[in-house]
Homo-oligomer: A and B are copies of this chain.
């Protein structure tokens, strides 16, 4: 089902790096995970989705999450952000499209449609591994930037699957920002109605609702806030939709992992309370 490539004893459990065959992407895919104790004792999983240019390594090495999950029965699992090694035309030209930038959508445009099925990869393949491989009962989802977009969108599209959703510095309205427009056009084509299926604000506008409160933390000094992240648009959409949420602006914090590390304790506690 999955192969453990590396394992490191970590707190009272293990940090592991794994590889498996994905039927969604038709490639090998990698993920990391922190297992706070023996697999048999783990009941819940938080899926972490990373941002642009990240791999399965960034969160698990930089966020300091292990210390707050230690001695719980909840694991965190961190998938890579795109298929790798395909050498598709245009795949490796830019940091915000293709490799490291799958945007958690099911692509319909050639040449990406065959492999860039990141929505299915997370919701079908990775969830199957959690259910069958790790015997997980309950799931939640969180992420950062492009991965915050992924957490919001996959969470709102699958409200019964996830107990709770949270995000750091998410792209909340990709149809309205340059990163999102480039990616959605590249993966989904010209029809903007298709884009709306992967836009958190548009999902809220069309009636999607999460099971519990959505938690968002956003640095006030984030260099991408005004052009790309557009956090205030989420506020408007969630207020109109009656979606309960907390959107916390954190004074002086930027877009980096130093911000994530500073507030990951709050996010982990939030998910633990909702399991």
Identify the A interface with B (CB < 8 A). 8-11, 15, 61-62, 64, 66-67, 219, 221, 250-254, 256-259, 261-262, 265
In the complex, which residues of chain B have a beta carbon less than 8 angstroms from the beta carbon of A10?
A: 258-259, 261-262
A67 near B9 with CB under 8 A, answer no
Contact pick for A62, options B9, B62, B254, CB 8 Å? B62
If A8-B253, A9-B262, A62-B62 are given as contacts, then 8 extra A-B residue pairs at C-beta distance below 8 Å, sorted by A number, are: A8-B258, A9-B252, A9-B258, A9-B259, A64-B67, A66-B258, A66-B262, A67-B265
In the complex, which residues of chain B have a beta carbon less than 8 angstroms from the beta carbon of A61?
A: 61-62, 257
| Docked pose: A252 CA to B8 CA in angstroms | 8
In the complex, which residues of chain B have a beta carbon less than 8 angstroms from the beta carbon of A258?
A: 8-10, 15, 66
Nearest chain B CB to A269 CB, angstrom units: 14
| Docked pose: A250 CA to B12 CA in angstroms | 11
Closest to A261 in B: B66
Closest to A220 in B: B9
A256 near B8 with CB under 8 A, answer yes
Among all A-B residue pairs, the 4 with the closest Cβ atoms? A64-B64, A8-B258, A9-B252, A10-B258
Closest to A62 in B: B61
Nearest chain B CB to A252 CB, angstrom units: 4
| Docked pose: A261 CA to B11 CA in angstroms | 8
| Docked pose: A62 CA to B66 CA in angstroms | 11
